[in-house]
Structure 1
Amino acid sequence: MLKHHLILYMRSIKKYKIPFIINIIGLSTALTCSILIYLWVSDELHVDKFHKHQNQIFHLMETLDFADEKSVSPHTSGIIIPLLVEEMPEIEQATRVAKYPKNASIFVEDKTIKADGYYVGKTFFDIFSFPIIEGNKNTIWTNTNSILLSESLAKNLFGTTQNAIGKTIDFQKKKKYVVSGIFKDVPTKSSENFDFVLSYEERILVQPNLMEWGSSGTYAYLKMKPETDVVAFNLKIKDFIKQKTNNDQIYRTPFLKKYSDEYLYGNYKDGIQTGGRITYVKLFSIIALFILIIACINFMNLSTAKVSRRLKEIGIKKAIGASKKTLVFQYLTEAVVLAFMALFLAMIFVLLLLPEFNQITGKQLTITLDSTLLIALLSITLFTGLLSGSYPALYLSGFKPATILKGKLNTSVGELWTRKGLVIIQYTISIILIVSVLVIYKQIEFIQNKNLGYSKEQVIHFDREGKTLDNNYIHTFLSALKKVPGVVNASCTRNRMTGNSWEVGGFDWEGKDPNDYTQFEHMIAYYDLIEMLNIDVLQGRAFSENFKSENTKVIFNEAAINHMNLKDPVGKTISFWGKQKEIVGVVKNFHFQSLHEDIKPMLISFWPDRLSKFMVKIEKGREKEAIANLNTFYKEYNPNFLFDYSFLDENYQKLYLSEQRIAKLSRYFAVLAILISCLGLFGLVSFTAERRKKEVGIRKVLGDSSAHISFLLSKEFVKLVLVAICLGLPISYVLTNSWLSGFAYNAGTSIWYFLTAGAFVLIITILTVSTQTIIAANRNPVEALKDE
């Protein structure tokens, strides 16, 4: 029976080529989109899930409850872990992690390599599944001058991973470390990426205040015993910091968050988890489903529209005893066969498009035909085939043979409304996608053109290292730097200017609420930094060499002054960490975080010992020349060190990398959705024109014009699209406003976005329909009437 059905379907394909081509193009395109989205979604869902004990690994985080807001911090104090391990039997193991603050320069003989790394506790490799491939895990931390390298870094430094154990590397030209282990390269499915690790105890030697309760520079990870009730444990440790600090830190509440969930669920608002990358996972899963549905609707509409061509076949089969079940099976088989044909084409398209898709998404996706992928492909294809074939199968198998053979079959009202409803659904989805693309594009444009309150253009920054780490050389280095041809100005800071860097408390000012524990963002600035970045000084002055003891002075932004409710703040004194500081200036608010966040209170202090980055303003139009001159200058001043720099405006754009990728992908998917919809409409109009060719012929004979006939054939489809526009625009308004609410500063929505989307769809529809209706209206009426 199956063989019989397949033979009939092959004959049908040969006879009716146009509907087959339309369906195969639509379904293969939809399956290509769906498979690419599946690969991306699958990769996102598996980030950080490769750890052997992933269900037991938790991140110790803190809820910070200030006077006017709640926030969540991924950091905690270095001292809390040993105390928790000692007092909480639910903890099996724990480790502390601190990120090395910059790209480190590692020297081996004549080689210099830049690398990222972490300071980690001794149990780090027991908790996380980063395999040690060279060295003994039990002896890798015998002393604090041990370093572990990734497989790739070891090969780059020594040419091989073998015999690397015991070799010495020169770290930042400051200290020698001995290689005690080599670990396998961090997998692409890890949210963290690092090339080396040092001992956390080494970090404490450099920064002992990490072990103070007021410090928050440590990431803490716990491996809990399998039977632990995490909710109960969070209640148990709720007041742990308050108790240990004798209520000095009452605004801090520690809690556990499953480590493998952080990547997808990393956003918080007012201390409550509000989503994260999971939003985009859901969004693209829905887009894939929508595109599949659009393609399936094409199949349904074309199958039911050409019903007159299969009536005799259905009538004869029913008359000789074929059951409804047999006919349903036949038409579902045809749909599934078509879906598998489309899958074959889709896989070719996926292999061709995957490199470009990886570039857009920043992934390293590959096609590996394992059982998981095969099951997914079969599931997607069967779903597509069964969905697209379900309505035609039930519709075609429901006719009575006597009615068919007598030729008295009429199109029912229900059939027409079903077909119309499917077209409306198609175009409603397309309109939602188009409006979404417009809104995302405008928001990205808003982000790129937003006045941040400082000048990020033509500014590069690079880390202090080598000779410049000596504080006695900072002023000399900057003076020489400013003389490099192409350099406009130069200064030094601790901050990246593209994300919060260091939040601090410990303030006291006149009239302060004793229950106010608000943390201020702390920016450290050297002379000329405020002027170089064109940050507006509203009151007072910036730091200047013309004044003495600038380390006893501070500058605040507007948000801080408003929070402290200080009138005429310049000249007033505040207490910061027990020291008296004079306010010498107030700067206009500027965005030092992404536009997802409101501008927070900021303190700007003069603290040369904590400066870590140089910032250089380059003359416009002389970028290449200035970079080349800086490279030469840097090598002369810091021999053997690499001049590793980045542009401030490029770093700012990286804050919105996810949004930019989403915008690009959405654009492609929206175009494909509208093309598939138009393809289906093109086929549907063709069949409508064919079905009404006798009516058209009669109208032509009676003197009706081609333009009027074309209008009659088009108006029903245009009406459907107008209904879709009326449905799609309100839905898209709600969805896009929900997305924009994730930005504290956004471009908002405009009626023009919706009118543009509606007009675009309408024009595309009219053009699509017109190509067929004009041909039908200009056809010789004799050809239609002589068939009678």
Structure 2
Amino acid sequence: MFRNYLKIAWRHLLKNRRFTLLNLIGLSTGLAGTLLICLWVYDEGSFDHFHKNDRHLFQVMENVPHEKGITTSPETPALLAATLKANMPEVAAATVSTPPSWFPKIALTAGDKNSKAAGIFAGADYLQVFSYPLLQGNNQQVLQDKNSIVISASLAQTLFGSVSGAVGKTIHWQLDKFKKASIVSGVLENTPANSSTRFDCLLPFDVFREIMNITAMDPQGPFYTYLVTKEGTDVTAFNAKLSQYMTSLTKGSTSSRQLFLERYSDHYLHGNYENGVQAGGRISYVKLFSLISLFILLIACINFVNLSTAQSSGRMKEMGIRKTIGANRATLVLQYLGESMLLTFLSLLVALMLVTLLLPEFNQITGKSLSLSFNTGTVAIILAIALATGLLAGSYPAFYLSGFHPLSVLKGKMPGSPGQLLARKGLVVFQFTLSVLFMVAVITVYRQIAYVQHRYPGYDKDNVVYFDVEGKVPEKIPDFLAGIKRIPGVENASAMVGNVLGAPSRGCSWKGRGKDEIILCRPFQVNYDMMETLGLQMAAGRSFSRDYGTDNNRIIFNEAAIRAMGIENPVGKVIQFDGSQLEIAGVVKDFHFQSMHEAISPAFFRLDMVNSTVMVKIKGEQTKTTLAALNHFYQQYNPGFAFDYKFLDEDYQAQYIAEQRVAALSKYFTILAILISCLGLFGLVAFTAESRRKEISIRKVLGATVANVVLMLSGVFLRSVLIAIGIGLPLAWYGMNRWLHSFVYHMEMGAGVLLLVAGAIIGVTLLTVSFQSVRAALENPVKSLKME
């Protein structure tokens, strides 16, 4: 029986080659798009779940109340991990580390080989808390000795030529002025691609404590604390206990600050907090693209349903005869579902070939390294998608075609035709409504990205290059900067700790308004001339200058900080801030050191002659020659070290990499959705023209022009598309307005985008419909009216 069903299904597909081809193209492209998104979603969901302690692995977070609400931060005191392990029976293991973004390039030397690597200073239990596999060494011992270092397999290969020969070798490393020799105690596998924390070397946290002279519990510590809870621990109850821990630890001085646990593997997708409450993150993009994949699949299935029901008149007699000779409805449903499944699995084969071809380009857009591996899980997901598609696409035609009374059909009556036509129109409206939504979303995202990238951030980011200090540079920063300033094409140069962008704010205590207060501030530790190098503008007072003796006891705030503290006429006032008596030298105008998702927050500048990053402003018309001169100067001044620089404006744009990738992906999937919708529309017009050939011929004989016929055939479908535009534009306007308000600084959603999309959709529809309409209108009426 199954074999006969298969034969009939195959013959039917071959008989209607044109509609089979349209369905095959629509389903295969829809399935390919869905599979690509599923691979991306699966990869996003897999981040950080590879750790064996995943269910019990947490990061300690902190809620810090301030004048505008609550800010959630991952920054905790340096000694918190040790005290939690000692005092909390629920804690099985705990460790501390420096934030991964602190040291993206530690200078390393082994013999005559120099390299730079991303590094983390981590507690002795770090590799017991996290499951980064060791190729060489014991995870319980490799970070115990202060003179040890753990490196990745790729770094071992770079420095020593092999993994096996690295353990026991000496590596000299440098941070600013601090230099140390460490012995390789272990070699790690390269950090997995689905790890949110990435590094090439681990150094003992005790070394960092010595560098920073951390000897007691500092409640302001900017470090990360991770812990593993014991089996059976009630996390809710433990959070209640933990929330008061900072109070007892610091004798009440930080009573308003509360600690809590966040599951480590949740942070990648759910890392955003608003007023102390978890409020999304990358999960919003995962949900968005999951919805897009479902919509694309629906559009492809709608094509199948439309074309199948449109062809139903040609199969009525076949169905009537089958019922008359004894076939029941269940048998007919299985027959039609079988045809749908056959076409779906043929489409699946084509889709898999498309995915294989498109994956390299898809990986480039998403910044991932996805691959189509046919393991049990992947095969199960692919088959489930194909099965769901086949059932979704074939169910309505199957139940629709099998529901007619055989006697009516054999008499030539077509019951249900008005409902069938209405359903087809409704599905066309749904398809193009989704296309309208996609188009408005893509254009809005692109315009917003262009807006934030071209909006003046309050400083001059163009033609500013920066690089880390290493070798002998940290010890001779003033001489080094003076040498750079003498290079033709250099406008100015300075140095600072860290970078202008990216670093988080921290709680700073100050005495104001008659009480002790905490204000969240972004600290900038800068050398002389940094304001001038970045083109920052002073609202009042002055920047740091050698003309005024020492500025070590002076501070510069931005306007947001002065507003938050409520200080009037601030220049020259002496305040108690961050544990020191400081005179306010000046107020800098507000500038964007965070992305435009955030409002400009308080910030302050302190003079610091120990720097980690050099910033150089060069003349735009001399960029190439100036960079070559900088490289030559660097090689002479710091032999053996590479001049590895980056442009500040590239970092600025990188803040919006997630939006850029969303825009790029959305663009391609919008094109795909419109293509599939137009394929379905093309097929429906072709079928309509075919079914109305005699009517068209009679109209032409009676005097109808080609334009009249084209208008008649196009009008029906154009009305459906206009209805879709009427539904889709308000929904798109509402949805994209909500998205735009996730940026504090955003463009306005004007009518121009909506009109542009409406015009584009109408143009594409007319182009699609006109081809078949004109072809039908130009056909010789004699052919259609002659006796068959």
Bin the TM-score by the shorter chain.
over 0.9
The CA deviation string for residues 24-67 of structure 1, in whole angstroms up to 9 with x for no partner, is 00111011111111110000000001111100100001011112
State whether structure 2 residue 375 is matched by structure 1 residue 370.
yes
Counterpart of 1:178 in 2: which secondary structure? strand
Counterpart of 2:265 in 1: which secondary structure? helix
Aligned partner letter, 2:169? K
State whether structure 2 residue 283 is matched by structure 1 residue 278.
yes
* 2-structure distance, mates of 1:96, 1:393: 62
Q: How many Å apart are 1:507 and its aligned residue?
A: 2.0
Kept in 2: contact 1:92–1:225 (CA 8 A):
yes
* 2-structure distance, mates of 1:97, 1:584: 35
Residue equivalent to 1:32: 32
* 2-structure distance, mates of 1:346, 1:586: 60
State whether structure 2 residue 508 is matched by structure 1 residue 505.
yes
Residue equivalent to 1:137: 139
Residue equivalent to 2:244: 239
Kept in 1: contact 2:10–2:339 (CA 8 A):
no
Aligned partner letter, 1:446? Y
Residue equivalent to 1:162: 164
Kept in 1: contact 2:95–2:225 (CA 8 A):
yes
Kept in 1: contact 2:509–2:516 (CA 8 A):
no
Residue equivalent to 2:550: 549
The CA deviation string for residues 723-756 of structure 1, in whole angstroms up to 9 with x for no partner, is 1111111221222122222212112311111121
State whether structure 2 residue 122 is matched by structure 1 residue 120.
yes
Q: How many Å apart are 1:9 and its aligned residue?
A: 2.1
The CA deviation string for residues 569-625 of structure 1, in whole angstroms up to 9 with x for no partner, is 21112122343222121111100011111101111121223x221100111132222
* 2-structure distance, mates of 1:750, 1:574: 47
The CA deviation string for residues 665-723 of structure 1, in whole angstroms up to 9 with x for no partner, is 00000011001101100000111111111211111111122211211111111111111
Residue equivalent to 2:626: 626
Counterpart of 1:6 in 2: which secondary structure? helix
* 2-structure distance, mates of 1:52, 1:19: 52
* 2-structure distance, mates of 1:138, 1:298: 60
Residue equivalent to 2:559: 558
Structural mapping, 1:28-427, within 5 Å: 28-99=28-99, 101-172=103-174, 174-209=179-214, 211-427=216-432
Aligned partner letter, 2:107? S
* 2-structure distance, mates of 1:74, 1:450: 30
Counterpart of 2:181 in 1: which secondary structure? strand
Q: How many Å apart are 1:309 and its aligned residue?
A: 1.7
TM-score, length of structure 2 as denominator length: 0.97
Kept in 2: contact 1:210–1:218 (CA 8 A):
no
Aligned partner letter, 1:448? Q
Kept in 2: contact 1:77–1:210 (CA 8 A):
no
Counterpart of 2:518 in 1: which secondary structure? coil
Counterpart of 2:71 in 1: which secondary structure? strand
Residue equivalent to 1:640: 640
Kept in 2: contact 1:95–1:123 (CA 8 A):
yes
Kept in 2: contact 1:335–1:386 (CA 8 A):
yes
Kept in 2: contact 1:210–1:216 (CA 8 A):
no
Residue equivalent to 1:443: 448
Q: How many Å apart are 1:211 and its aligned residue?
A: 4.3
Cα distance, 1:619–1:144 mapped onto 2, change above 3 Å: same
* 1-structure distance, mates of 2:323, 2:484: 91
Aligned partner letter, 2:469? R
Aligned partner letter, 1:285? S
Kept in 2: contact 1:67–1:515 (CA 8 A):
no
* 1-structure distance, mates of 2:104, 2:303: 55
Q: How many Å apart are 1:387 and its aligned residue?
A: 0.6
Aligned partner letter, 1:255? F
Show structure 1 runs of 4+ deviating over 4 A: none
Aligned partner letter, 1:144? K
* 1-structure distance, mates of 2:707, 2:189: 72
Kept in 2: contact 1:204–1:211 (CA 8 A):
no
Q: How many Å apart are 1:515 and its aligned residue?
A: 6.1
Deviates more, 1:725-734 or 1:17-26: 725-734
* 2-structure distance, mates of 1:379, 1:516: 58
State whether structure 2 residue 771 is matched by structure 1 residue 768.
no
Residue equivalent to 1:492: 495
Residue equivalent to 1:733: 733
Kept in 2: contact 1:63–1:252 (CA 8 A):
yes
* 1-structure distance, mates of 2:520, 2:399: 65
Kept in 2: contact 1:502–1:523 (CA 8 A):
no
**Structure 2: unaligned runs, 5 residues or longer:** none
Cα distance, 1:555–1:708 mapped onto 2, change above 3 Å: same
Aligned partner letter, 1:166? G
* 1-structure distance, mates of 2:773, 2:138: 78
Counterpart of 2:445 in 1: which secondary structure? helix
**Percent of pairs with identical residues:** 44
Aligned residues: 783
Structural mapping, 1:572-611, within 5 Å: 572-609=573-610, 611=611
Kept in 2: contact 1:635–1:641 (CA 8 A):
yes
* 2-structure distance, mates of 1:209, 1:555: 27
Kept in 1: contact 2:80–2:217 (CA 8 A):
no
* 1-structure distance, mates of 2:221, 2:594: 19
Aligned partner letter, 1:94? A
Counterpart of 2:32 in 1: which secondary structure? helix
Kept in 2: contact 1:106–1:169 (CA 8 A):
yes
Residue equivalent to 1:749: 749
Deviates more, 1:689-698 or 1:298-307: 689-698
The CA deviation string for residues 113-161 of structure 1, in whole angstroms up to 9 with x for no partner, is 1101111111111111111221233432342010011111111111111
Kept in 1: contact 2:465–2:645 (CA 8 A):
yes
The CA deviation string for residues 372-399 of structure 1, in whole angstroms up to 9 with x for no partner, is 0000000111111111101110111111
* 2-structure distance, mates of 1:656, 1:737: 18
* 2-structure distance, mates of 1:528, 1:164: 43
Kept in 1: contact 2:467–2:646 (CA 8 A):
yes
State whether structure 2 residue 465 is matched by structure 1 residue 460.
yes
Deviates more, 1:587-596 or 1:752-761: 752-761
Kept in 2: contact 1:495–1:501 (CA 8 A):
no
**Structure 1: unaligned runs, 5 residues or longer:** none
Q: How many Å apart are 1:521 and its aligned residue?
A: 1.3
* 1-structure distance, mates of 2:231, 2:595: 38
Q: How many Å apart are 1:210 and its aligned residue?
A: 7.5
The CA deviation string for residues 260-284 of structure 1, in whole angstroms up to 9 with x for no partner, is 1100001111111110111111111
* 2-structure distance, mates of 1:92, 1:786: 89
Counterpart of 2:61 in 1: which secondary structure? strand
The CA deviation string for residues 647-671 of structure 1, in whole angstroms up to 9 with x for no partner, is 1001111111111111000000001
* 1-structure distance, mates of 2:756, 2:14: 41
Cα distance, 1:130–1:194 mapped onto 2, change above 3 Å: same
Counterpart of 1:330 in 2: which secondary structure? helix
Aligned partner letter, 2:484? L
Counterpart of 1:460 in 2: which secondary structure? strand
Kept in 2: contact 1:432–1:728 (CA 8 A):
yes
Kept in 1: contact 2:442–2:663 (CA 8 A):
yes
Deviates more, 1:19-28 or 1:552-561: 552-561
Aligned partner letter, 2:19? P
Residue equivalent to 2:679: 679
Counterpart of 1:550 in 2: which secondary structure? coil
Aligned partner letter, 1:122? A
Aligned partner letter, 2:757? A
Q: How many Å apart are 1:208 and its aligned residue?
A: 2.5
Q: How many Å apart are 1:482 and its aligned residue?
A: 0.7
* 2-structure distance, mates of 1:668, 1:549: 58
Aligned partner letter, 1:277? R
Residue equivalent to 1:518: 519
Kept in 2: contact 1:265–1:278 (CA 8 A):
yes
Kept in 1: contact 2:554–2:584 (CA 8 A):
yes
Counterpart of 2:55 in 1: which secondary structure? coil
* 2-structure distance, mates of 1:561, 1:289: 50
Residue equivalent to 1:22: 22
